[in-house]
A and B are shown apart, each in its own frame.
Chain A
């Protein structure tokens, strides 16, 4: 379901911004417009949807319009043109009263510069949204306490913001947004002030939050690793425009243009690419077949071992060619010559494959969560991927033999 629909949203700063729309229509760039006029294009023709329960990441260099775009979503900034729909309702046409209701009930925000109220305690900051909504005093305190526990700030309720570290302040900002319990969370570089350890912890928490509280999250970040880690989809912005939207893999593997390529070139591929990305189809057979069939299959495919699976494609192990030859002579059932192997998961990162592959003489078996064989990873494929050669194959469904 579409939670947010943004169509051709444009924001131009300066006097008589409509003039800028004309220039944009003529195809002028942000720089050209800035040179020609005193207008500053914040966001130009952004179009995208955010699905319910999705983490949508917006990335881009400083000044590319991320903060402006996210402010259009709750109309802290009025768009110069375009429409923004929340749950199918166009917020650009709402009056002040309707807009307030949307902001109270549907969408809350974590700010880039924290924006905590210096005259309020941490608890009073956290319950601000609920206070505005007129929630009963005890209830709002309780809900704010819960939110503070969620972000790991229990015990700091009575501190003032200026007594906390930057990272803690950022978490208060997050707690304040969480306390309102809205469906949509807008997060403008919400984790930028956190140290790497807490940052990772907060990212995990955000993922949990999104799955158990059904949140839709629009997340802005500078950090590609962060985007890849938490984003279901990523939008890349440049000069106010969205240059590419896609899954993390899309962005990495098929950069739309040089800008995106440049953006992603420093990524540590081994932490992004998973076994699922580089696995190829695995030959496999069910155990009720004989050793002779196994030998035949290996011969046909030019391989020296074959994976054995049960009827549900669940991986049982591997059959070696020599063993199979011996077994077919002695008539031993195939089941008895299956050797156990240690499979890897589809979503295991390359960086975690190195050790396994270096120890193993045969390709690694890749299984899904149910332990079903999905494919195999060869040593060559790993080296290939790390070398930056991104044109690797998507594994087809493993066929039963």
Chain B
């Protein structure tokens, strides 16, 4: 390849330089973010520990019952008890904290961006290729700048997870806003709504089911990132799987993997759309 007459464009080198530049000049800033993320995750883990497994399980079962009914509640109960029984409780809580933090931040950043993309065509046009890039770039690649900017451990894991998991929330929020029927927008305008009134009283409520579908996808993607995040030292079930792979331990691999699957199904069902609950259809 080196003999081609076209000189190699140094994209990799530029990326290097960019990260170098950012680390040199904004190290403090990223340091703050890193410690912010770290303490958020830590306090979640601390709260989960304080709750004791019993309370934690009961709360999850209650939420599952409220959202989806007896079936999912039963699954949650059996699944969580199994994780406890297998001895992965502490690691499961770390994974939980990692996923929760990533999802909360994804929504916090992604929802407003999605709304903007839904309202503003230009922003939507700029955003789409960026989101495509974020989702198709192999997720491992995010780890490298994440290490440079945030060190090792939980923070780079969370950041890499956010970058990978946030796009569906942005996309689906934008989609939901754009899909609000035009006659409802007209009706809202005809009665003299301001832009904000229209947004909060009409567009967001009507887009809500679609937004929730996006959040659900984001949650699933976060979970799919836990093993990748463990490569930069994020603790939890992902680290167990990683260990199992490197030391060829089938038993640990299956158990930790199963625990991840249980958490994934539970979170998926709980966060799934329960539209029309009010009107009695589903």
Chain A residues close to B by CB (< 8 Å): 71, 74, 76, 99-104, 108-109, 111, 113, 115-119, 128-129, 131-133, 160, 162-163, 176, 180
Contacts and interface: CB of A to CB of B under 8 A. Distances in A.
Interface string B258-282: 0000000000000000000011000
Contact of A160 (B183, B205, B279): B279
Given A131-B201, A132-B197, A104 B192 contact: yes
B279 A163 contact: yes
Contacts, number: 60
**Contact residues on B (Cβ < 8 Å of other chain), bracket:** 20 to 34
Given A103-B191, A116-B187, A162-B279, 10 more contacts: A71-B186, A76-B190, A101-B192, A104-B192, A111-B186, A115-B187, A117-B202, A119-B205, A128-B188, A132-B193
A280 to B, nearest CB: 49
Q: Which 9 A-B pairs have the closest CB atoms?
A: A104-B192, A103-B192, A115-B187, A115-B183, A129-B191, A100-B192, A109-B190, A119-B205, A160-B279
B278 A133 contact: no
Interface of B: 181, 183-184, 186-194, 197, 201-202, 205-206, 208, 278-279
Nearest to B280: A163
A100 B191 CA distance: 8
Contacts of B191: 103-104, 108, 128-129, 132, 176, 180
A100 B190 contact: no
17 contacts: A76-B189, A76-B190, A100-B193, A101-B192, A103-B191, A104-B192, A108-B190, A109-B187, A115-B184, A116-B187, A117-B187, A128-B187, A129-B192, A132-B193, A133-B192, A160-B278, A160-B279
B186 A100 contact: no
B206 A74 contact: no
Contacts of B189: 76, 103
A111 B279 CA distance: 24
Given A113-B183, A119-B205, A74 B190 contact: yes
Contacts of A103: 189-192
Contact of B184 (A74, A108, A117): A117
A111 B183 contact: yes
Nearest to A129: B191
A99 B191 CA distance: 10
A309 to B, nearest CB: 54
A111 B193 CA distance: 16
A222 B183 CA distance: 20
Listed residue (B189, B191, B206, B279) with the most chain A CB atoms within 10 angstroms of its CB: B191
